Structure 1
Amino acid sequence: MVLAAAVSALVGVGCEEKIPKDTTAPAAARFDARVSNTTCSAPPLPAGRVRLEPAFTGFYRPVAMVDRPERGLVYVAEMPGRVKVFDRATGQNSTVIDLVGKVGSYFEQGLLGLAIHPTKPYAYLTVERDADASSLPDLPVRAEIIRFDISADGKTFDPASEKLVLRVDRPTLLHYPGTLLFGRDGFLYIGVGDGGRDVARFPTDSLLGSILRVDVDGGSPYAIPPDNPFAKGGGRPEIYAAGFRNPWRFSFDRETGDMWAGDVGAEAYEEVDRVELGKNYGWPTVEGHTCARPRDNCDRTGLTEPVFVYPHAEGASITGGYVYRGTSMPELYGKYLFADFVVGRIWALEGTPDKPEAVLLNSGGPKPSISSFGEDAQGEVYVLDWQSGTIYRLAPGEAQAASSYAPLLSGTGCVDQADPTKPAPGLVRYGVNVSLWSDGADKQRFFAIPDGTRVDVDDAGDFQLPEGSVAMKTFTVGGKRVETRLLFHHTGDEWSGVSYEWNDAQTDAVLLDTNKEKVLPNGQTWQFPSGAQCFVCHTKAAGRSLGLEALQLNGTFDYGPTQRENQLTKLAALGYLSRTLDVVKEPALPTLDGVAPIESRARAYLHANCSMCHREGAGTGASLDFRFTVPSAAAGVCRPAPFTGLPDAQGVTPGDPARSTVLLRMRSLNEKRMPPLGTNIVDEEGVGIVDAWVRSLSGCE
């Protein structure tokens, strides 16, 4: 069987199968009418120290911003290949140059960096050239720094003037060049990722994993500053500092000239570095403060420690920002601001050099997918939302941020206050066709929406819960409740997640303020996620609520002893959904233990367990799209996906599970495992289904 034929059979299977029975749910009364929800709703978000005010809109996938106040123009680079300009005088956007189709467009490739020469009419761009589907087998991938002439009015970059400044080859699609920035010294600084190489320490004859510095005015295409570390030999003369994994965004403090960088981590930590000439910041020998290659007793000789590190309990992909030098928020003056792309949090680095502390600034939302920061002539700071295309200005908020979450589950209004093991009257129980693997735990699932509202179902079948809604899930292991998680949809389209740990007496559950591990009575180690970790999986691209989608709910469900009905039909009939869906024509995930073909069940499993991150728009660096309805040509499952010791592995290698990165990660319990959070036990059933599917494939065409 070839993959194309397999995927063509997926849509529409499984709707005749029964959703697995919720064996942990108490017997319920008949579900024949919509029940009023008067108690369970998303609480107000705590106030934030900063507010995010929309400053510029109308962009698509913005990744860089440059303010030129002398012209009244703000340049914005869009990842697909356009540079646009916002004219402050007219309030209008226009396209400066359009390179769409001339730069790579595969997943996260494209236009990634922008700098304007401080004194000459030149624009510099970082672009991916060879990262398209037809050229992927011909790795390495090529990135280029290119220059264009700028018109007299600043509103056009002349395409005919393109000049190559620097080319950087990479062995994989990962960790490309990004930031371009001119320093006080007039030199151009270039951030370059490690290219996804799996080595113990970078050789100095490579540009990868470095911040470069070149003199674009001193030679053609550039000269080497004489004090660069390897200007006289011993390594690539362009290198300014080394030992980075992915220094996606860095900046200069406009008052001191210090360089600050956010280096995107691998399995465990994100780090902030104050970058100095000639220093090595540790990767891949160390990640944060911890040995990475090797895991123990690594050689730290000559390595510089980061200024600050945060674990993946708080985020998963740092975006470096600026030292704040504006006037609107004097309490932040002189403090480094940075963010996390995955969870949308913005922090200020406070404390002392010996004990730095990250203070959350935007607890009140929004929490955008922050691809980059910007700074204007007054030192005010902006963040670029990759998802919405909005550029926000940071503005003063409130000094204190008080929590609004109930300390006990019984106080949330989402359970019976007298007996928290029971849901409150306004909650709706539901089931899914294919469950996200949670180390074998049984689950009870509920949702609640405000009275007078309905759930919109979009064209992809995702449930768009109205503001004020709550999704609740309780995990039971060995017949005892372990954890209840609540996902809140707040006003302003903001989301938050919290976790409650059940007490041994099973009488109530306590709010956790961070992630936690606990050994259960059966010896199993359970992972409680932090609020930030919730959104590593509950991505914006996946609609946040995950299981609440037509693919998962299109199946029969036992609402009571004598009430077995299709969930989509039932919810529409009782007024919970905004429209009625044809459950015969609507796609459905087949249950794993059903009679559907192996390829359908494997793709259903990958949809439920992987597609929240591995899909278009989710921001993952891997070139895979595991949505059930995506055709094979677009899914990219046979694209190169290197794994430790297997540089030629693919996401799926037809007929060869041992060279299929998807399976290798599913079987792993170390930092390579997927999904990356919430599991300490291999899902043998899921692995078996995907393994059988891979073995059945004879090709990808």
Structure 2
Amino acid sequence: MRLLLSVCAVLTLAFSAGAREPAGVADAVIRSDGLPRLLSDYHFFRDASGWQPNERVIPYQLNTPLFSDYAEKYRYIYVPEGEQATANGDGLLDFPVGSALIKSFGYEIDGKPRLIETRVLLHRADGWLALPYVWNAEQTEAKLKIAGERIPVTFTDPSGKQRSINYGVPNKNQCKECHALSGAVTPIGPKARNLTDGGQLEDFARLGLIDAVPAVDYRVPVWGETSAPLNDRARGYLDANCAHCHNINGSASNSGLFLTYEETMPVRLGINKRPVAAGRGSGTHDFDIAPGDPEGSIMIYRLDSLEAGISMPEVGRSVVHDEGVALLSQWIAAMDGKD
């Protein structure tokens, strides 16, 4: 479900009063050295159930989001009064100290939306800190879960298939597995190229959340936008789902497989590339991407698996993303070996 109309409405509401002190957002808690026990300690939301963002807590949507077991995600940016994020071309926005990125995960259960967890990224003086909070059964509070948690959830996916899973809330160290860049925790989602839908960047700049509308050379298509070129859709999916690890400074840099949207070298994208370390993860296949042969490609083999040591991504999902596998299979099938 896309919430761009709500984004624009909340942006206007949040900034229409001009330069005012944020209504209740706890800047001192964001900047402190502590680990707040309750999500409500930050005052990111006006209501106890976490649906009404506070002033300057701005909702946003990604064109193509990271897949997380078909969970709905509700994303928010907080930048303190008097500060602005800096645009860096089509890459990540650069957020000042005191900022926070808030992401709630949930499902429609028994006909009602229900939040499972909320993850926060806090920009403190010594860098970014990632913390997971789990919502109680009453949906009135979310508590810090440093060690993570497994939560049974039954839901219906977009195809109409009912699924029952043990939803995985990551522990504090697992957050680092995806959010580490050159060893430091960093945001991975709010890249300008993935924020172009619905005029979000223009709204952010007009209202002073960012310093300028960035020049976007590589626009990630909106997920499900079948009118966009197949290559762009596939590359956008890889950028959103894989490139936070598979980049030259990421945790999977030793693989030599770099899946950022702007990568231009076919072999770095995996095309006719042999894996650095052969083993169970290769499934006896020779190449990460075998042009024209998705079933013979390691990439599809690993994305279509749930087996530990084979499944990719390694964390963040307990079911196969059928639509993602189908998209990348179509992309590989269309290659003729000269791509």
Q: Is the pair's TM-score, using the shorter chain for normalization, greater than 0.5?
A: yes
Residue aligned with 2:77, SS: strand
Which amino acid is the alignment partner of residue 296 of structure 2? R
Contact 1:410 1:416 in 2 (8 A): no
Q: Residue 674 and residue 25 in structure 1: after superposition, are their counterparts in 2 closer, same or farther (change >3 A)? A: farther
- 1:598 has 2:230 as partner: yes
* Residue 36 (structure 2) aligned to one of 400, 403, 406: 406
Report the counterpart of residue 615 of structure 1 in structure 2.
247
Report the counterpart of residue 149 of structure 2 in structure 1.
516
Aligned-pair distance for 1:418?
4.6
1:232-269, Cα deviation, whole Å (9 max, x unpaired): xxxxxxxxxxxxxxxxxxxxxxxxxxxxxxxxxxxxxx
Contact 2:40 2:48 in 1 (8 A): yes
Contact 1:454 1:577 in 2 (8 A): yes
Report the counterpart of residue 682 of structure 1 in structure 2.
320
Distance 2:5 2:147 in 1: 27
Distance 2:175 2:145 in 1: 13
Report the counterpart of residue 160 of structure 2 in structure 1.
none
After superposition, residues 266-665 of structure 1 pair within 5 angstroms as 404-416=34-46, 418-478=48-108, 479-492=113-126, 494-522=127-155, 523-540=164-181, 544-556=186-198, 566-582=199-215, 586-594=217-225, 595-620=227-252, 621-633=254-266, 635-638=268-271, 639-641=273-275, 642=278, 644=280, 646-665=283-302
Aligned-pair distance for 1:637?
1.3
Which amino acid is the alignment partner of residue 224 of structure 2? D
Residue aligned with 2:116, SS: strand
Distance 1:40 1:694 in 2: 48
Contact 1:624 1:636 in 2 (8 A): yes
Contact 1:625 1:635 in 2 (8 A): yes
Aligned-pair distance for 1:592?
2.8
Distance 2:154 2:322 in 1: 22
Aligned-pair distance for 1:473?
0.6
Distance 1:26 1:32 in 2: 10
Aligned-pair distance for 1:554?
1.2
Contact 2:26 2:41 in 1 (8 A): no
Residue aligned with 1:533, SS: helix
Q: Residue 646 and residue 505 in structure 1: after superposition, are their counterparts in 2 closer, same or farther (change >3 A)? A: closer
Which amino acid is the alignment partner of residue 626 of structure 1? L
Q: Aligned-pair RMSD on alpha carbons?
A: 2.5
- Using the size of structure 2 for normalisation, the TM-score is 0.84
Based on CA coordinates, which of the two structures has the bigger radius of gyration?
1
- Considering fraction of residues, name the structure with more helix: 2
Aligned-pair distance for 1:33?
6.1
Q: Residue 657 and residue 464 in structure 1: after superposition, are their counterparts in 2 closer, same or farther (change >3 A)? A: same
Which amino acid is the alignment partner of residue 250 of structure 2? A
Distance 1:490 1:428 in 2: 19
Name which of structure 1's ranges 441-450 and 455-464 shifts more when overlaid on structure 2.
455-464
- Using the size of structure 1 for normalisation, the TM-score is 0.42
Contact 1:427 1:447 in 2 (8 A): yes
How many positions carry a matched residue from both structures?
A: 313
After superposition, residues 144-223 of structure 1 pair within 5 angstroms as none
Which amino acid is the alignment partner of residue 101 of structure 2? A
Aligned-pair distance for 1:658?
1.9
Report the counterpart of residue 43 of structure 1 in structure 2.
30
Report the counterpart of residue 692 of structure 1 in structure 2.
330
Distance 1:26 1:596 in 2: 24
Q: Residue 432 and residue 632 in structure 1: after superposition, are their counterparts in 2 closer, same or farther (change >3 A)? A: same
Aligned-pair distance for 1:438?
0.7
List runs of 5+ in structure 1 lacking aligned partners.
1-19, 47-403, 557-565
Aligned-pair distance for 1:539?
2.2
Distance 1:521 1:648 in 2: 35
Aligned-pair distance for 1:581?
2.6
- Considering fraction of residues, name the structure with more strand: 1
List runs of 5+ in structure 2 lacking aligned partners.
156-163
Identity %, equivalent residues:
26
Which amino acid is the alignment partner of residue 22 of structure 1? L
Residue aligned with 1:635, SS: coil
Q: Residue 543 and residue 589 in structure 1: after superposition, are their counterparts in 2 closer, same or farther (change >3 A)? A: farther
Aligned-pair distance for 1:647?
4.5
